[in-house]
Structure 1
Amino acid sequence: MNHKFQACNQIGVVSTFTKLLNTPFHGIMNALCWHRDLAGDFKEIVSQLELKENIKEVYPETLLALKLTENGNIAREIILSDLQLLKDSGASPSLNLIRSYQRDEELDFISTDVYSYHVDRSPISTDTFLCTYFGATSDILPNDQVEQKILIPHIREKLKELHEGSEITFETFLSEYFFDLHYQPKPDAKPINLGQGHLWKLAVDHPGQKALPCVHRAPLENEGEYRLLLIC
């Protein structure tokens, strides 16, 4: 395979789902890509799905009920196969049709929504899997190109004012409200876009993790265009 992801030490590239599942993270490598050039018409699927809210989970029975062309059916079979592969591995995948995520506008000095660079955390050993079939696609950043927001002096001072508690409980406060999961890109940061159709495994912050968690963000959606995203 000859593609852009091979040039980045942060990213491992595999050719099968089994390798994606079984390849461990190590060193600075905290993102794995099952690199695929998918056939099929995913836009046809999106065009037939109704979305009244900003986000809706799309279930297999909904996909199966769609009247699709041959290319649309190819896309549907790929999605159903991906969902089944993840379920069989013990994961709980969700296929989401997205207009937009909820924005965090409560505080003007720090954002903690999914459009902010962040890491995922879990009390148990797990990974984040995602694949964008249609629409705008997520970005990741190398860990040495970001700074934890809670360590930026002016943000930290404002968080201390918000906390209004003792120094002893401040770190717990940062964790309880997920402030510590969010990161600010450094001025020379170079985001890596995950692209459409590839199935990704991203490192999560958990007690047994041997690599740094992967810093990622949801993209700003394209005007008038939904996203079709598998995630778990």
Structure 2
Amino acid sequence: MNPTFSDNSQIGMVATFSELVHTDFKGETNALCWFRNLEGDFAAIVNQLQLKENITKVSPQDLLALQLSQKGSIAREIILNDWRLLTDFGASPSLNLLKCYERDEDFDFISTDVYSYHVDRSPITTDTFLCTYHGAASEIITNKQAVQKVQIPEIREQLKALHSGDSAEFEDFLKDNYFDLHYQSLPNKTPTNLGVGHLWRLAVDHPKQQVLPCIHRAPVEKEGEYRLLLIC
């Protein structure tokens, strides 16, 4: 098992899907990892799928239509089983073939795309599940290792200049435009890479959440390599 995971107080380790969905987040732990060393040839799946846009959704029917080797078939069954587990649990998984995400180029002083450290927010009780089967994997960082971008004085002043409403509405302006969801790493802090094949559950900001939401970001993709990511 990866010592980076097991020695990190932010991460809780589980051995089954049932543990993954039923273990409570506590204290500093806001990420749970079902650690797996997966068999199968996931590259074979990626090589047969057709990228139609920078992000292409892949359905179970798309996977079943592929002509795969034995190892490719093993990889396909792992993905389909993860899909079934999450669907039976009540989640709505999406399998994405990724070249890249859209970059946020609206402002030069703050970025709000998924390559920026951010947390997820929901009005209902939920969590984020994700697994990278192929390509670069997402990263997380502890809440102590980052600062909310809207609390950085120079960024906050520029956001105030951007805000045209009453000063009493400024905090609502930050939320409405998702500025408050984004974070900046403190100097010399190293994120944890989530690795390939592990199924993760990350804490989301919602009214009943008992821990701080998990700060994460999408990786910079490797040149010439697509990502295959299951997320919900």
Give TM-score, length-normalised by structure 1. 0.99
Displacement after TM superposition at 1:52 (Å): 2.3
Partners of 1:4 and 1:27 in 2: how far apart? Answer: 19
Match of 2:31 in 1: 31
Match of 2:176 in 1: 176
Match of 2:108 in 1: 108
Match of 2:216 in 1: 216
Show CA shifts across 1:89-112 (max 9, x none): 000000000000000001000000
| Counterpart check, 1:159 vs 2:145 | no
Structure 2 residue matching 1:133: 3-state secondary structure: strand
Displacement after TM superposition at 1:2 (Å): 5.9
Match of 1:119 in 2: 119
Match of 1:94 in 2: 94
Aligned ranges 1:77-88 → 2 under 5 Å: 77-88=77-88
**In percent, how many aligned pairs have the same letter?**
65
Q: Which amino acid aligns with 2:192?
A: I
Partners of 1:162 and 1:139 in 2: how far apart? Answer: 30
Count of residue pairs brought into register by the alignment: 232
- Can you give the 5+ residue segments of structure 2 that lack an aligned partner in the other structure? none
- Retained in 2: the 8 A contact 1:145–1:188? no
Show CA shifts across 1:2-22 (max 9, x none): 633110000000000000010
Structure 1 residue matching 2:202: 3-state secondary structure: strand
Partners of 1:187 and 1:2 in 2: how far apart? Answer: 25
Match of 1:231 in 2: 231
- Retained in 2: the 8 A contact 1:33–1:200? yes
Show CA shifts across 1:204-227 (max 9, x none): 000000000000000000001100
Q: Which amino acid aligns with 1:220?
A: V
Structure 1 residue matching 2:118: 3-state secondary structure: coil
- Can you give the 5+ residue segments of structure 1 that lack an aligned partner in the other structure? none
Show CA shifts across 1:17-53 (max 9, x none): 0000100101100000000000000000000000021
Show CA shifts across 1:93-136 (max 9, x none): 00000000000001000000000000000000000000000000
Q: Over the residues paired in the alignment, what is the CA RMSD in angstroms?
A: 0.7
Q: Which amino acid aligns with 2:73?
A: N
Give runs of ≥4 in structure 1 deviating > 6 Å.
none
- Retained in 1: the 8 A contact 2:4–2:192? no
